[in-house]
Each structure stands twice: as C-alpha cells, then as structure tokens.
Structure 1
Amino acid sequence: MSHRLHNIKIILPILVWGMLSHSAIAQTSYRFGTSSGIGGAIGSGYEVANQKATFVNNATPAVFGTTNVTVSLSNQQYGNTTAHPFEGMVNPIYSGAVAFGAVGGTGNADPIANNRFTNLYAFGTPANNLFTIHKMAAPGTGINAPVTGAFTIALFTDALLNAAGDNINGMTDLDTDIQFADITLTFNEPVSNPVIHLGGLGGTADVTLPNAAYHSWLGFTPVFELLNAYSVMRLSGSAYFDVDPLVKKAKTSTTWLGFSSLSAGSCYGGKTTYGASGSFVVNAINISTLTLRIYLRSDEGRVTDAFNSIPCPTPANVIYHPFSATLYPRWSDLESVRSDAFALSVSFARSKVTGNVFNDPDGGHIDNSTGAANLVPGGIYANLIDTATGFVLKSVPVSTNGVFDFGELNANGYQVVLSSTLSTSGMAPAPYTAPTGWVNTGAFNGIPNTGNTGVCTGVSEIFEVNEAGNRININFGIQQLPESDNHNTTIPQPDTNDTLVLDGLGANLPLLSGSDIQDGTYTGAAGTVRNPSGVIITSLPVNGVLYYNGAPVTIGDTIINPALLTITLTGSGYTSLQFEYAYLDAAGFADPTPAVYTINWSLPLPVSLLYFQASKQSGSILLQWATASEQNSKGFEIERSSNGSVWNNIGFLFSLSADGNSNTKLSYSFKDAQPFPAMNYYRLKQIDFDGKYEYSAVRTIAFANETSINIYPNPVTDKIRIEGLIGGEIIYIANMWGQRVSTVKAGGHTCTIDISTLAAGSYIIHIIDASGIQISAKKLAKT
C-alpha cells in the first residue's frame, strides 16, 4: 500500500458479543459467527438501513442463542438527502456520511463496496489483547478476533467539503468535535453491563492543495459519546485509547492522529502518529438500548511543499508552512472518496442461577441430611425476585429431587422466594406454606452444610449475579414434622392424692411415645433414638398435678426423660383427666398437632370441694370455696406461694359445721389483703380432727392489670411484640377453628413472635401464666 492510501483507512467491523461466566466451570461466550450464514447481516455495498445479527456460542459447531441485536443509524448530519450534501459523492443514494458495507478510496468517485458482515480480524488486524470480553474478566482477555463475526461500517470525510473542494468551515472545523450521526444498538432481550469495544480509531488524509505547490496532511479520529444516562469505565486498550467517565466519551488522545494502534505508531507527513483500540464498560442493569453519538475530530494538521511522502523524523528540507485563508489542511478532495476507519463492538455476560430445596431433618446447616437421595414433595415453586421492584422475574417448579434452575441471567441483585403455586411474572410472588406435614428449617446461599440463616419463611438472602461466574447453591431446607401418639388408659379406682407413674413399667401408666419419618420411633429419654430433643407439655390436667422428677410441670416445659413424669390426683368429683404433649424432633421442631394423654376410672373421686376460686378485689385477692359434705373436718389452712413450690400459711378458717360433719353445702371466703405484686399461688389444706389432711387444687392469679399486657402491631404482617409479661408465660396462637398454629414460652418481660409464615386472616393470641391460667386472649389480624 502506498503512503497516499493512508486516507482510505480500512473500516474495522462492529462486534456485539454476549457471553456467560461460570464459577469453576469453563466460560461460554456468545458472539456473532464469522459468516452471514450463522447469525450475521447479508450483502455488501453502501447501506444505511438497519442491520441485524443473532448471537451464537463458541462451541464447535456454533449454536444459536436467543439474543440478537439490531444496529441502526440515525440523526445523520451530512449526506445527499440532508442539509449538507456530499461534494465528492454525487449519487443521491448516498444519504448519510455513516454507512454499512462500504469504504473510501483515492481516485474513486464512489465508495468501494465491502461486505456488511465479516470477521473482526479482517480490517486492521487488531490484537486480541486490546479488548476485554466483560466487566469481571482479566484486562485484555476473552476476544478471539479471527473467529468473531462483525459489521463493516464507514464514516466519509467528503461530507465536510464544499463545491470548490475546500472545507465547508475552513480551518474552524479542525481540532474540534464535528457531529456526524448516532448509532443505536437494540437488544431483543435485556443485557447488563455491556462492554463496548472500539477498534482502529483514527485515519489520515493527505491532499494536494489547489495550488499544486503545496500538500496538506491531516490526521483524525472518531469520537464516541454515550447518550444514555449510565456511567462508563475503561477496561483495556492501546496506549492512546482514552475514556473520559465525566463526559462519557471514548477517542484517541494524542497530539498527532493516525490509524495505528501499535505502541510504535506509524510515520505520516513527517510525524509519528497514533490510532487507538480498546474496551470500556457501560455500568447498567437490564438494558435493551444503547445509543452512541459519533463525532469526527482532527489534529491541527500540517501543510508542506508538494511531497508525496515525508519520512520520520522530518528531514531538514521539509518546511511546515503557516496556515492562511487558502493554505490549510483539507478533509478530502473532489477526485476521491475518503473515509475514516473505526470498529465498534459490544459484549456482555450472563450467569446461571440454580439452587436446591433440601430434605434437611437435622436442624443444622442447610443440606440433605437424610443420608439418602434428596426427595421433597411436589407443589413447591421457586421465584426469582428483582430486588429493585420486589416483583417476580421467573417462576419455576422445584423438582422432586429438590433442584430448581432459573437459567442464564443478567448481572443484577436478586432474591429467591418459595411459593405454593406458580407465580406470575411482573407481580408479587404467590403465598407460600410448607407442604402438609413439612416445615421450613432455614435457608443459606452457599455450599451445602456450611451455614443456615435461620430464616424459616422460604425467603433467601439477597445475592448479586455478575459476570464472574454462575451462582449456584441458593438453598432452602424443609423437613417432615414428628408425630406424637395419643394414649387412652383405664385404671382401677384411685383415691384423692394418689400418685400415678407414667414410665410404662408393669402396671404403671404407659410411657409417652411418638415417631418421626427421619428420626424413627420415639420412646424413652431424649438421645436414645437418633437424638430426639424431648417432649413439650402443651396443656396441663384440669384436676391433678403433673410432676417431672418431683417438680410441678408448667405449660411449655420440655421433658427430657418422660419416664420421670408422675400425676398426683387432687380435688374430687371427676372420673378422668388428660393433658397434651408434642414431641420435638432432632431439628427442634414440634409436632403441630399435640397428642392427648387420657386416664380414666369408674367412679368419681370423693367429693370434698364443690369449687375453689380466686379473684381480684381492688388491692386484695378474694378466695372463695364451698363443700358439698364434710366429715370430721376441723377447718381449712390457707397457704400461699409466689412460685408454686414454697408455701406459707397465711390464715385458718374453722369448719362452719358444729361438729365437723355436714351433708349440706357450706361456703367459705378469705381475703388476702397483701398479695404478692406478681404471681400468687393459693391452695387449701383441709385438716381433720384426727390430724389427717389433704390439699386442694392450686389456684393462681397474677396481681397485675391485664391491660398492662400490650400486643402490637395489630394488624400485623410479620412480627408481633408482647410487652408487660412476667416471664414463663406460654403464648399460643390459634386460628378461628381453634387449631394451634404457634406456641412459644416467654423468656422475660417482652416477647417477639415471627408469624410471617401464617396465612392472612384472624387469629386469637392466648397468654397462659405459669400455673396454666389464661390471663389474656386477644384477637389478632394477620395481613
């Protein structure tokens, strides 16, 4: 190529390249193929109509993806159908100064036809290491120019000449940005963080001036300005490739402009000139359109005597003449069609997002802890949520092996939410309730068996997807709940104050029992079979006192060894009693439908008290009781306790019968004028004249205003807070059918309960004191 052909700067192509990044998996790139037959535009020659290509991957053979891009030219400032027609290109079809599929040449009245689609290496042979495939890739990696399809585009400098062959604006157009057109890239599917590649920026035009004694030399470069409201950042490029993040422009930045991206530059008109190539990222999420405004900018130019070429460094016989009204560099001449050379390419990355719903009965880190193949019930759906909107992007079923797969995704922030039905894209996710008989054990984003957030609502942590690689292991845990066995036993006639043993030995009452599909059969002390966690007592007998290892049991107590349970019969007039219990599995989850333990006998226990009750009377507590009959009764000692364990005598009432014997109703009352400021336990010790005695059932009353218990917010969406407690209360929530859906034990004066997993509706929240007396019941609205 002769030196005068430097102004026919070969047009580098446009590349739009999509790719997928995988963590610890070979990277898959999506790009254009190297011929129109696998995804590129078709034809050759000057064209300003839209061009389109579909992405393929880099497999052998290449396989089509689903993403394509349409490249369009608009806002043309120069051309034979605009206000500034070409002087050197007279054919009216040349409607724009920027076009596909043609290049300029000296001595040609028309542009030279060129393929509109070729490969990236075909023009200017740009080095691979000047480009970076995506935002997270190592600089200078990821693009293989010879196998990358690309568009051919040209920018024609003849647009800047007038009919006399002079610059239309004389010298004022030199060394300034001249707007030419806009290039818009429209993706049929959104992309994130696209990388724009510019190759071979810069060109030259050496022209013999009207006075043939002089020759002008001019270097120029296209300048690209991003019009969208996104930020930009340089990733890689040649030494003079410049990206200004403030004005969002990319160009060659050097004193003397040329066409070479090599570090040594090239000699032109006695000066070492430089072009540029490189990549910058557009920091944007899920975009469909990018628009670049193209300008042309020259260096200051040179005018010499009529030399066809000038070596570097400039020889002593070469004189650079000062500019004048007629003596200045020209963009082109009327005998030739001149063009600049540039390349524009775009690439992006997508990553795959997958996860698991594990059958996870051990309650620890989230994983398949069954010791067998992972199996979960059907009817679970995973929903990919856009964290910016809270709406569903994709909803997919979870397979029975627990796997869900959202496919390839753009860089963005996401969250996964489970649902019980398929959710609708663009809407909030459908509600989620664990499958019948199952419960959530937590969630964790990461390698199985390495963590658990403890959030048991079917909602993952927020996570970021970027070009670095796949996001796998968005994991959830569920497990089947334990079952507790009902027991209904008839025993020989007992007496008041008899103690019954529940250890299953000999003629004693049966041991508590249950089972779990993962743990096996529950019986005996905790830890005897695959580490069950024990038994929760969920209700107490109305008559009689349930003891564990000699201490009274309160609602919510966890029993480690059920063989140490006993019941002491108190009161009279009844023929059965019962309490409820629920087994805890190895993960610490309780049977949601407690079992009923029932004891029956034939005849009512001997009648002594018709009733015994306690009530508040201003600043005191009034005790009232009545007997149906009395035999040999001396009277009643009134005992009080603050904890149900240590009792003190606070008074004595003699029998109202004359001799301690009566067959009619006798009523008694006693006022405790100085009750404890919190919990008060009362019992009667009925004493006979012969010294024998028996105790009544215990009555408990909290000497505190119920209105001091505050439950809020109400209505509630996720968590309720209860204030004004004493500590030790059992709090349970029941639906409108009376079924318990949540039970907790207060650990102090306040208690917070997460009810986000409950379905919307009305519930009753019950508060039971340590003795089993309900001290509050309030309606709760769940939204």
Structure 2
Amino acid sequence: MKKHLLTLGLLAFGFTSFAQFTPGNLVVVQAGDDATTETNGMTIHVKEYTKTGGFVQKISVTSSGANSVVFGTPSATTEGTPALSSNRQFLTFMGYNANAGTASLSGSNSSTTKRTAVVFKADGTYSTANFNVFSGQSPRSIVASNTGTDFWMVGGSSGLRTGNTSSETTTSVVASPTAFRSVNTVGSDIYFSTSNSSTSPAPAVRIGKVDGTATGGFIPLPGVPTTTIIPHSFVLFDTDNSGTPDLLYVGLDDGLQKYHLSGGTWVDDGLFSTGTGSILKGITGFIVTGQTDVTIFGIVGANIGNKLVSIVDNAGFTSTISASKTDLVTAPAGAVFKGVTFTPGTTQTVLPVELKSFEGRQQSQSVRLDWATASEHNNSHFNVLRANDNKQFKSIGKVEGNGNASTIQKYAFVDANPFAGNNYYQLQQVDFNGSAEKSDVILVKTDLKDKTLSIHQKGGQLEATIYVDEAATAQFYINNVSGQKIFETKLQLSNGYNQQSIDLSKINAGVYIATVVINGNKHTLKFVR
C-alpha cells in the first residue's frame, strides 16, 4: 500500500470507515446530509456511483473538531469542485476548516478560518491540509500533482496559486484575472476557467493554459470566446493520441458547449442546452477506444435537489454536438451535488471495453450468464467471479475476449455448480497489459437444494459426501438433539466430491445432526440412527 499523500503531522489524518474505490466508477461530492436540510457550514459526503447511477458507498468527511471540513451555503455554485490528478491517483476538493453549521464562511478571514484541501486516495482514505488563502472569498477548485506533494488551486480572488503540503503555504502562479472557476491538469500542463469580465489586464480569457515559460503568464485557448460564455468546469480530450488535447467540452450556465481543435484554433461545435438557468458544473467524461461517442457526466442545477446526469454526444469529434441527456441520481432533499469525477485509481478516460449488458438466470441445475460489449480494445479475457451471501468473490471460470472490436460482441458462461439460494456474479475484464476493471454485481436466486453435504447409512457406517468447488479445510461433527457432540474431525477437502465414513455401530438409536463447516459457512443435515 502506498504511503499517505499528505504527511502533515497534526493536520493530516485518515479514517477507517471506508472501502476501496472501484476503478471506472464515479465520485460525486455532496454538500449536506442525506436527511437533514443544511444552510450553513454544510457537511461533506463523498459518494461512489456506477456509471449508470447505481449507488456503491458513501464516505463522510469529519465536520467537527480541529480537523473538520465543511462547505459554505447551498448556493455556492463552484465551491468544492472535485478534480483528479493527471495520473488519476488523487481526488481533491476544497472546503473550510470549520464545524458544521458555521455561518458566513465565504466572507471569513482565512487566517482564522483556513481553506482546507481534502485529498482522497484509491483505497478510500483521505487527508487534509490547511491554507491561509482566499480570505474573504470561497475556495473553488484544486488539483494535486502526480506525486501528491503540490497543488494548484483557485478561489473567488487571489488568482491561481500553487501550494505545498509540507509548508502549507501558497504562491501565485497567475495573479490575474480574478473570478477563477476551476483548475485542472492535462499531462504536465495546467488549464483553468474564469468568469472574469474585465479585459484588463490583457489578454481577455475564459479558458486558459498556464504559460510555463513566463511567471504569471497564461495563454487563452485560441478561438474560445473571451467574453460571451460563463464557463464552470471543463474536460479536454486527446482523441488522436498526439500529446495535445484536441476536443473540449465546457459546462456553462445553460448547457454543454463543444469545441474541436483545427489548425491551432478551437472551432465552435455548438451548445447542448440543459435548460434556461440549468447550470452545468463539475463535469468529467470518457471516450471508448474505437468509438466516436463521447460521454460527459456533470451536475445540472446549482442548488438543493440538483442532479447527476450523463450526456452522450454521438456526433463525432469534429461535428456539431448532437447529444442526449439521462438523469442518473437526484441529490437528497436538503443536499447539493458539487461536482463529479472518476474514482481515484481510474487509470484512463479512454475505456478499453464498454459493457452493454450483463444478466443471469437459473437453467435446470445450473446458472447461465450472458453479457455483451458494445466495443472492445485490447480485451484479453473475462474472469467470472461468484460469491454467496458472505460476498467473498472467487473466480469460477475464464472467457476469452475478442481483442479489438467496434461492434456488439456476445458472451456466455454456464456455472454448473451454483449455490443453493443467492448467487452473486461479477465480471473482471482484463486487458492484454494486465490492467483490469470489474463490472457491477448481479444476483441470481436458485431454488436448488444445498448439495454441499449429503449422507446415507450402510450397515453400521454413515457415509458423508461433501462437495466443494475448490480445495478447503473443513470441520465435520455430529451432535445429538441435546447438542452433545458425539463425533468430530478435521478434513482436508479437494476440489469436487469428498467422502467420509463414520462408524455408528456403538451409537444409540435416535435423531442426530451432521454438520460441516467450510470457510465459516455451516451446512447441516438431520438423520435417524
């Protein structure tokens, strides 16, 4: 396991009430509790969802005490926008070092109410660092370096700044314009958005790139309007793998704006409207290799009850946007979604395999699984994983992939020895380079009888047959109806059917219970002697 990102002594900490993030899922940062309306010093909750909006887990950030972090008010539009580092290992956002319920946070003095960077890792732990910055203004966006030792951050004032985790100090990178909205990195380059309406100091800018050759300098993206759009967050793609982004989506006050790069200039590809006043913020997205569809995830609405949505642009990389929107999740009553990004540990925005469907059904004494992919890139194989109610997944088979495909590919697998009752299945898709991603879990209920343990008597012998789908150590014992143990042994079971003979010749007639315990799971049968 990697070391904690921040080693800040008193100001760095982690929690244990978490679970590992699943690569390829979404993370939504939420201000406010699921059940209670909050209007000041809003509590912070990080929620993991699948790309179709299925809830996975919630991790709450502490909101009281010396290490507490909260957001301001529900109407703070760009405050708390999350971002991933370029290597996609660190998820970051900013809040206030204050307790839940504290009022007037955006106007507070940062020397007494520090602005706090929150950093999540792929294992679900988080750390914090406090900064005396953005005094009298709200902290808006922050992104970590690939090493996790430095940050770039923006707020309502004080320009674009860089901060260091060990010193907890910041320095100016771009002093003006003000009114920065978000900051993000693509490779080693730093990009930002701003709503600044002034052209002084020149040049005017709405989406810009930090000029690494001159201190305090920046370059507006050529062709992107410098006065007519109010950008929030943005997503850049490198569709031709040239090392230079060539596709841009921007969340605006009324929808999703698209641009593509042509001859060094960004060309306007139109606006997909989310409705008048339906602000689109905190966006992220992905492209499936071999496909020209682009999926953007974002938050529609700026206040309580806003929504996580997906917007799919199927027009191609250089054509006028032609998109459809799907509402995925609505924020709980009294809470606000701040933004969305992928889980830390998601290694790429160009996904190798797009799973179209995954389902299962009982078929006589077995379970048949069927799934389909819409496209594939470097798809080596699928591992089929299964668990019972203990949710300890184990591989039960392997199905070869089709490598590269741009059309629908169908797969099937038969589980010849399912559990009686609940069977949970999951697919692990593995690339040729060894990287892997897991699917959602599906449940198949069977009406089968438990075949793990069967017994019959022959003469004075009890023949016990025990089935396991992989080698295991088991405990086998027999009790009478009063609970008294009359026989006990430890068994080393091999894959398949195992037999154990017990001499009953000296046991009195009566009712007895045979039990076998395998990996903590108990299987029993009653018999009469």
State the TM-score, normalizing by the size of structure 2.
0.26
Structure having the higher strand fraction is 2
Mark the structure with the bigger radius of gyration. 1
